[in-house]
């Protein structure tokens, strides 16, 4: 798992704002994320904001049954139990991305601006930044 790859993470705008504010330190995913501690993360806020809003680093990932994840970390999720249960309904494990070193961009990088630079489709959940991605996105990659 090379730490040099940068993870592009799509978030609902309220969760992106909570991460940037420091009130949410764990992002929840249903699918495994193959990333090493220290991996750089670019935070993309989905509709209606549709913009890159910040960067962070992956501290580590906890994989555990949903009930265990709630019991241990619920105060770091930025959402209530019902919403957590609904999101993870049917999932065997919760994949909990602990984020650190969060930085808000001075100005959000809008999707329309990224698409002016190169063909670009933000991920539904996450993906890695690729060489063919817009320059504005690649400029955020921290080595």
| CATH number of the domain where residue 44 is located | 2.30.130.30
- Asked if the structure places residue 127 within a domain, the reply is no
Domain limits for position 62: 6-115
- Asked if the structure places residue 67 within a domain, the reply is yes
Secondary structure (DSSP) of 10-78: EE-HHHHHHHHHTS--EEEESS-----TT-EEEEEE-TTT-EEEEEEEEEEEEEE-HHHHHHHHGGGTS
- Asked if the structure places residue 124 within a domain, the reply is no
Local confidence pLDDT in tens for the 143 residues of the chain: 444 689 999 999 999 999 999 999 999 999 999 999 999 999 999 999 999 999 999 999 999 999 999 999 999 999 999 999 999 999 999 999 999 999 999 999 999 999 999 989 999 999 999 989 998 888 887 65
Residue closest to 37 by CA, chosen among 62, 66, 69, 72: 62
Number of structural domains found in the chain: 1
Q: How far apart are CA 85 and CA 107, in angstroms?
A: 34
- Asked if the structure places residue 41 within a domain, the reply is yes
Check residue 28 and give its pLDDT: 98
Check residue 142 and give its pLDDT: 60
């Amino acid at each position: 798992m090379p730490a040099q790859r940068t993870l592009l993470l799509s978030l609902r705008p309220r969760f992106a704002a909570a991460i940037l504010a420091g009130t949410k330190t764990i992002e929840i995913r249903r699918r495994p994320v193959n990333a090493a501690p220290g991996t750089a993360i670019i935070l993309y806020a989905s509709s209606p904001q549709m913009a890159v809003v910040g960067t962070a680093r992956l501290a580590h990932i906890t994989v555990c049954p949903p009930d265990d994840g709630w019991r241990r970390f619920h105060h770091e999720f930025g959402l209530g139990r019902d919403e957590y249960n609904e999101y993870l309904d049917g999932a065997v494990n919760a994949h909990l991305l602990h984020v650190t070193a969060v930085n808000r961009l001075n100005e959000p990088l809008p999707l329309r601006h990224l698409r002016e630079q190169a063909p670009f489709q933000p991920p539904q959940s996450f993906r890695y930044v690729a060489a063919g991605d817009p320059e504005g996105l690649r400029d955020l990659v921290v080595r």
